[in-house]
Amino acid sequence: MITSGKMQPGTRLKPTRELALDLGISRNTVSISYEKLHAEGLLETRRGSGTFVAHINNSLKLLETESDTQRMPSSRGQRALNSTIGFIADSELPLTPGLPALDQFPFDIWARLSSRFWRSEPKELLPYGDPGGYFPLRKAISTYLAAARGVFCDPTQVLIVAGSQAGIDTTARVLLDPGDSVWVEDPGYISGRNALSSSGAKIIPIPVDSGGLDTITGELISGNAKLAMVTPSHHYPLGSTQTLSRRNAILRWADNADAWILEDDYDGEFRYLGDPVSSLHTLDTIGRVIYLGTFSKILAPALRIGYLVVPKDLINAFVAARVVCDRHVAIETQAILCSFIDGGYLASHVRKLKEIYNSRRIALANELRKINYLVDVVDHGAGLHFIANLKKNVSDVKVSQFALSYGINTPALSTYAISRKDLNGLVIGFANTPESDAPWIIDKLKLAIHDAINS
Ligand SMILES: Cc1ncc(COP(=O)(O)O)c(C=O)c1O
C-alpha cells in the first residue's frame, strides 16, 4: 500500500498493540513487520508521536508499483535504472549524511529577495536565458571562489548547473565515451559514480586512506583512464584530506595521460580544525581540473543549484552540453542567489553555519565517545559528517538497519565501498542535528548496536 501510494507519506500507522488486536495476531509479529519496513526506509518514527509512512522517492514508487507495465529502456536507460535500484530520497531523519542545517535556511532573506525580484517585473529575463547561467551570478561566484576556496577563474568559466549531480552528468557527456575508464574513490560517493556508470564509463575503484586517493595505485591499476572523480579537500565518506604529494602526482598523471580530474569540493567551506585546505584546482597550472561546487550544503539540496568551473578551452563544449540537456537552471533561483551573494548574505551565512556545524559536530562526537567501548570516532574536523568505526564484531549494515528502526539514519560505511572489504563503521551526518538532540540519538544508536550484536 505504501509503494502503490495508497498509503500516503506522513500517514500515521496504528500503534503495534492496536493493530495486533485488530488483526488478531501477536504484537510481536506486528513489531517485526514495522521494523522490516523501517529497515527498507518505508516507515519512519518520530519521537513521542509514533510511526509514519516515510517520504520515499517518487520515481522509486513508480518503478515498484508499475514495473510490470514498464517497457525496456535503452541500454543507457537500463544502466541508470540498475544504478538507482533501492535508491531512496534523502530523509530528514537524524544523522542523515549530506543534509545541511535545514532549520537555519535563511527563509526571511530569501523571501525578501524573491519578492524584490518579481516586483521588479524582470521581463527581459523571461525568455530563454544564457545556457552557461545568469551572468551576474557567474561573476558573483567567481569572486566568491577566489576568496573562499582559492579558485581563480574568469566568470565565463563558471557554469551554473542543477547541483553537483548535474555537474557530474554534464562532465560525463562532454569528456567520456562509453567504455572509457574512470577512477573513482573506493569507498566513495555513490550518486556521483552512478552518474558516471550510467553514461557508460567503466568504473575503476581506487583505494582511499588517511592521505586521500592513492594516485600511485591508480596509475598501476589503470594508467590510461580518461577521468578521475575525487574529493581531495574532505573525502566522502572517510573525511581524509589528500596529501600534497598525491595531489601533485594526480595532476602529473592527468597531464601525461591526457586525462581530466573532476574535483568535487562539496563541503570545502567547512573546516573546524587545523589550517584551511585549498582546492586541487589551486595547484592546477595545466588546465586539467574541472572544479565542482554546490549550494546544497550551505543552503538546501532542494534548491538544486551548483556550478562547474571548467578550463577555458572546454567552455564551448560544456555550454553545448547544457543546451542539449536542460538549457539552464530556473532564472528565479539564479537571480535570488545572485542577490544573496552580492548582498553579502552568503559570506555571513557561511560564517554562521561554520559555528553551528562545529557545535553540532562536537556534541555528537562527545556523546559517541561515551560509548567508546562500541565505537571509535574518526573525526577530521571538517565538512558535515564524520565516521564512527564499529569496534565489536558486528556488521555495520545490521547496525544501520536497527538504527533506522529507531528513526535514525546512519548509513553503513561498507555500503560506500566498491571492492573493499575492510570497512565496518557508520557515517554520522551532524549538520542537521541540534546539540540538544545528541544525547537521545546516541542512546538509541547504542541500543541499535546492542540489538545488532544480540541478533
Ligand atoms: C560527495 C558529495 N558530492 C556532492 C554532493 C551534493 O550533491 P548535489 O549538489 O547534487 O546536491 C554530496 C551530497 O551529499 C556529496 O556527498
CATH number at residue 313: 3.40.640.10
Which of 184, 180, 194, 129 shows the shortest CA–CA distance to 159? 129
Share of the chain above pLDDT 90, in %: 81
Asked if residue 337 and residue 368 are part of one domain, the reply reads no
Please identify, by atom number, the ligand 1 atom nearest to the C-alpha of residue 165: 10
Q: Which of 1-5, 63-67, 399-403, 427-431 has the lowest mean pLDDT?
A: 63-67
Tell me if 158 sits within 8 A of 328, measured CB to CB.
no
Task: Assess whether 64 and 114 both reside in one domain.
Answer: no
Residue 97 domain-assigned? no
Name the residue with the closest Cα to ligand 1, atom 3: 266
Mutate to test the pocket of ligand 1, among 90, 184, 236 (most ligand atoms within 8 A of CB): 236
Q: Give residue 407's domain range.
A: 348-454
Is 222 among the domain residues?
Answer: yes
Please give the distance, rounded to the nearest whole angstrom, from the Cα atom of residue 254 to the centre of ligand 1: 24
Asked whether residue 86 is domain-assigned, the answer is no
pLDDT above 60 (res 352)? yes
Residue 60 — very low, low, confident or very high, per pLDDT cuts 50/70/90? very low
Q: Ligand 1 centre from 227 Cα, in Å?
A: 18
Say if residue 110's pLDDT is above 90.
yes
Task: Return the higher-pLDDT residue of 425 and 85.
Answer: 425
Residues within a 6 A CB radius of ligand 1:
98, 163-165, 189, 192, 231, 236, 264, 266, 294, 296, 301, 306
Task: Give the Cα-Cα-Cα angle 101, 103, 109 (nearest 5 degrees).
Answer: 105
Other beta carbons within 10 angstroms of residue 285's beta carbon come to 8
Q: What is the pLDDT of residues 322-346, one digit of tens each?
A: 999 999 999 999 999 999 999 999 9
Rounded average pLDDT over 95-114: 97
Domain end, chosen from 26, 43, 71, is at 71
> Would you say residue 254 lies in a domain?
yes
pLDDT band for position 59 (cuts 50, 70, 90): very low
pLDDT tops 70 at residue 316: yes
Q: Give the three-state DSSP class for 201.
A: coil
**Which of the four pLDDT bands, split at 50, 70 and 90, describes residue 254?**
very high
Nearest CA to ligand 1 atom 14: 98
Q: What is the CATH number of the domain that holds 431?
A: 3.90.1150.10
Its pTM stands at 0.86
Query: CB neighbours of 278 closer than 8 A, spacing ≥ 6?
Result: 149, 150
Residue nearest to ligand 1 atom 7, measured at CA: 164
Rounded to the nearest whole angstrom, what is the distance from the C-alpha of residue 455 to the centroid of ligand 1?
Answer: 34
* Residue corresponding to grid cell 574513490: 185
Ligand 1 centroid to Cα of residue 48, in Å, is 32
Same domain, 113 and 186: yes
Q: Which atom of ligand 1 is nearest to the CA of 90?
A: 14
Residue 324 CA to ligand 1 centre (angstroms): 23
Helix (DSSP H) and strand (DSSP E) numbers for the chain: 16, 13
Distances from the Cα of 152 to the Cα of 71, 238, 278, angstroms: 47, 28, 12
Residue 289: alpha-carbon gap to chain centroid: 20
Judgement on whether residues 378 and 313 belong to the same structural domain of the protein: no
Q: How confident is the model at residue 88 (pLDDT cuts 50, 70, 90)?
A: low
- Which range, of 74-88, 124-138, 232-246, 367-381, averages the lowest pLDDT? 74-88
Cα distances from 402 to residues 10, 378, 396, 450, in angstroms, run 21, 22, 10, 9
162 CB contacts (<8 Å, ≥6 apart)?
304, 305, 306, 326, 329
CA of 165 to the centre of ligand 1 (A): 7
- The count of domains in the chain is 3
Q: Is 386 helix (H, G, I), strand (E, B) or coil?
A: strand
**Domain match, 238 and 329 both:** yes
Give the end of a domain, one of 293, 309, 343. Answer: 343
* Best mutation site among 141, 164, 270 for ligand 1 pocket (most ligand atoms within 8 Å of CB): 164
Res 39 pLDDT > 50: yes
Give the separation between CA 381 and CA 290, rounded to whole angstroms.
Answer: 26
Q: What is the C-alpha end-to-end distance of the chain, expressed in Å?
A: 29
The confidence score (pLDDT) of residue 65 equals 46
Backbone angles phi, psi at 291, to 5 degrees: -100, 140
d(CA 218, CA 13): 50
Contact 289, 171 (CB under 8 A): no
